[in-house]
Structure 1
């Protein structure tokens, strides 16, 4: 799912819209669905394979961005009185009911619809729209957990003790009917005001317990500020003006993520016990990468004593602080190297854990937008039922990891290139102006071949306003002040032609905050 929320409206002939169309062509992004795929999708939307178990009496709710219509997950949270806790304290445990869209109820293995999903791999998000994994009649209609809409789902029941630890797991197909479509800001407001009803109020209680368990096992959740981009349309010109802001995630974002994480960990445990599965694995970061991160922390004047673990340091940082935000962004480098790791017949892989989760983990909660999750659901259903994993699932193990890896690369590039285009559009008429910024990264000279003191030093500057992150090129022999404020001059900015570039305002001295 994208880290940056990008939204652009405006006339089709506007320069940014034209540049985004060109980007789709350059990246070979899939265009309209083939006719046969659309026909199959329309038929499936009208005649899905329905389960016998009816859970439509369960008052589920979804939490998503306000404009989202491809809703993968819905939940209901309740107390389980009398289960006790490991510490002997607390009123009892909790029951998490988590419904996941049942894409397999609509998509037949080997069909044209299935083949197209394997070609697309994941939903791609552009500022002016998205390129969905499945046709809209499914992803935003029949298969989506929209409010007041009855549809098939994979229903998880996770019973937790009073400390938030998993006691039992059940997974079954069910008919469900969500009651409400909530958004993060609204959820946070209700919980903070104390007006949330218990099923929603428990999101905070359970989320915080799961966060404590994450600390206990050494897991890490990065709270990185997001770049939000919106175009305000100009009716006279057909173009518009653009606004970029930084948004630090709300606590409700984290609590909601913990429910998904809980389910992904439970799914991984089921797979390992069953002997067949596709895990999301990440080896521990090499010492060199951690050492580089320590140097970055020092440059950003972030105190990182040697006796303090990386996970503990991350939890102490404030994403509203520019230095901390810059460091959190650098921390994402330790997450590179994640893989989709299949195994079968009890032959477990060498690595079964995800180092950031600090436990076995798998993707299973977003099947409308990510291909592998459909397969994960089928494996978990078979594990709980004690039946063999379907042959069509096992047959995909040889190709699915590579498909997902390539799809992840494409999604990452789409996000980066879209932000570059919107930033260039925002600053198009401001070339030559001076901005206040913050140097958040400097290219390590050791990483550059044939580096010498006459080469210019390059890095990354994060502007205070607007919320732009761009490359800055210093003068040869003059280091960029990593972790310091810096005045920079915009030298180029043209959507579709040149990315945003800056140079320091000479002399290269940190700006006095006063």
Structure 2
């Protein structure tokens, strides 16, 4: 972590400029807020009572928009996951003011000083959020996990649930969790390896508020608690995707692998970073050996993420098996409806399929329209995230013009090279004619432009 010294408030001003540039909404219109207020009063009807299940949540300590609560119990040699997901569709109706605004936004946008939510806070952080302050309507998925790590969706129902505890990634203890939590994650991870999956989870390059207007820029590896928690979502999303694909409906998360050209660049990058990558070992096998805490490994993981063709959404098409290369399976998003628009419709389809009912026509129509909406939202969110990081890097390096920095080239595009500084959590681009991925370079910082959030480097003499 590197503290950012910002005595003149450039970061705060820059964040305001980013909000203006990308037209990030500061809130919701009175019409949407009024509709959300009314929706929050809607009493559950037809929900089963599952308040006897001791659900818990696990999230960042500051989070209040809690999508998921869970409980795990043994069943012979299997583990059964009860996964409660916020029942957003209970509160939001097709075509109402809240729904229309959500279609404009697509997903929640996160910024260091706050967020632009997909839904108004009275829903996303109160009535629909699975907070431990009272019963909440939810959709409970029942996922059976075998000893081989294979998962199957056994049920999906609307239910009233009560979370017993709001647990946090950074201080949760093993004794706080259901007894099967670690074993469930281990089985899911083993199954991933067996089918040749390799989800790349590089450390996140992020800006962290420290209080009093101060921030820090860091590369943050995922905690063990985060990785284990992610296994619950992964298993549920795989099970839901399989059920929908079998039923001939759904919206799926799809991604192709790196091209041959990208693979060649990755091998050069690995060599430059000092990674041992034998010719007879494929990329996925190498990825499973990487350590987020190793700076060279982290740089390579970032390069792998950029080398892929990017993930997207695709509706069910007869005769086509939707595929997510990193997961090495058919995969869907169904576990974060407070933050992603698409999940609300996937959940509705799963409820219908598991009840033996036809999927509503409006859900099938949404599956056809959502890929374009989600692609636009994800692209905008990615641009905003990059702009925030660029701003933090510029503020951090302001005043250090003329200094030399060791770096590694992780990718090239003509004479433009993407570089990763060796001793700072800074990833950028500079012109280095003839550069090759993996090349070690010494750079001089020539300029810092806070207005454009741009760092200018050149090869040091």
- Taking the aligned partners of 1:339 and 1:471, their CA distance within structure 2 comes to 26
Question: CA 1:249–1:153 in 2, change beyond 3 Å: closer, same or farther?
Answer: same
Question: CA 1:98–1:380 in 2, change beyond 3 Å: closer, same or farther?
Answer: same
Equivalent position SS for 2:333:
coil
CA contact (8 A) 1:60 1:75 kept: yes
Question: CA 1:349–1:29 in 2, change beyond 3 Å: closer, same or farther?
Answer: farther
Offset, 1:241: 4.1
The structure 2 residue matched to 1:363, chosen from 333, 338, 343, is 333
| Number of the residue aligned with 1:285 | 258
Q: Does 1:501 align with 2:460?
A: no
Offset, 1:40: 0.4
- Taking the aligned partners of 2:182 and 2:147, their CA distance within structure 1 comes to 14
| Number of the residue aligned with 1:470 | 428
- Taking the aligned partners of 1:126 and 1:271, their CA distance within structure 2 comes to 34
| Number of the residue aligned with 2:362 | 392
CA shift digits 1:288-346 (9 cap, x unpaired): 32232223223323222232122111001122222211111111134424221112xxx
Question: CA 1:185–1:41 in 2, change beyond 3 Å: closer, same or farther?
Answer: same
In the TM superposition, 1:242-257 aligns within 5 A as: 242-257=215-230
In the TM superposition, 1:30-49 aligns within 5 A as: 30-49=25-44
The structure 1 residue matched to 2:19, chosen from 13, 20, 24, is 24
Equivalent position SS for 1:429:
coil
Question: CA 1:280–1:8 in 2, change beyond 3 Å: closer, same or farther?
Answer: farther
Equivalent position SS for 1:397:
helix
Equivalent position SS for 1:185:
coil
| Number of the residue aligned with 1:489 | 444
- Taking the aligned partners of 2:447 and 2:43, their CA distance within structure 1 comes to 53
Offset, 1:481: 8.3
| Number of the residue aligned with 1:327 | 300
- Taking the aligned partners of 2:131 and 2:153, their CA distance within structure 1 comes to 28
Question: CA 1:198–1:119 in 2, change beyond 3 Å: closer, same or farther?
Answer: closer
- Taking the aligned partners of 1:473 and 1:424, their CA distance within structure 2 comes to 18
CA contact (8 A) 1:470 1:502 kept: no
Question: CA 1:360–1:167 in 2, change beyond 3 Å: closer, same or farther?
Answer: closer
Structure 1 residue runs without a partner (length 5+): 83-91, 235-239, 449-455, 507-514
CA contact (8 A) 1:7 1:129 kept: no
| Number of the residue aligned with 1:336 | 309
Q: Does 1:421 align with 2:380?
A: no
| Number of the residue aligned with 1:108 | 93
| Number of the residue aligned with 2:408 | 439
Offset, 1:7: 12
| Number of the residue aligned with 1:128 | 113
Question: CA 1:505–1:50 in 2, change beyond 3 Å: closer, same or farther?
Answer: farther
The structure 1 residue matched to 2:418, chosen from 449, 459, 466, is 459
Structure 2 residue runs without a partner (length 5+): none
CA contact (8 A) 2:153 2:239 kept: no
CA contact (8 A) 2:398 2:448 kept: yes
In the TM superposition, 1:173-212 aligns within 5 A as: 173-187=158-172, 190-191=173-174, 196-197=175-176, 199=178, 201-212=179-190
CA contact (8 A) 2:410 2:419 kept: yes
CA contact (8 A) 2:57 2:68 kept: yes
Equivalent position SS for 1:257:
helix
| Number of the residue aligned with 1:401 | 371
When structure 1 is superposed on structure 2, of 426-435 and 393-402 the one drifting more is 426-435
Offset, 1:393: 0.8
When structure 1 is superposed on structure 2, of 135-144 and 312-321 the one drifting more is 312-321
CA contact (8 A) 2:200 2:301 kept: yes
- Taking the aligned partners of 1:270 and 1:6, their CA distance within structure 2 comes to 46
Offset, 1:121: 0.3
| Number of the residue aligned with 1:169 | 154
CA contact (8 A) 1:72 1:366 kept: yes
Corresponding pairs, count: 461
| Number of the residue aligned with 2:352 | 382
CA shift digits 1:441-467 (9 cap, x unpaired): 2424xxx3xxxxxxx6643132414x2
CA contact (8 A) 2:81 2:142 kept: yes
TM-score (norm 1): 0.84
Q: CA RMSD in A?
A: 2.6
| Number of the residue aligned with 2:196 | 218
Question: CA 1:349–1:424 in 2, change beyond 3 Å: closer, same or farther?
Answer: farther
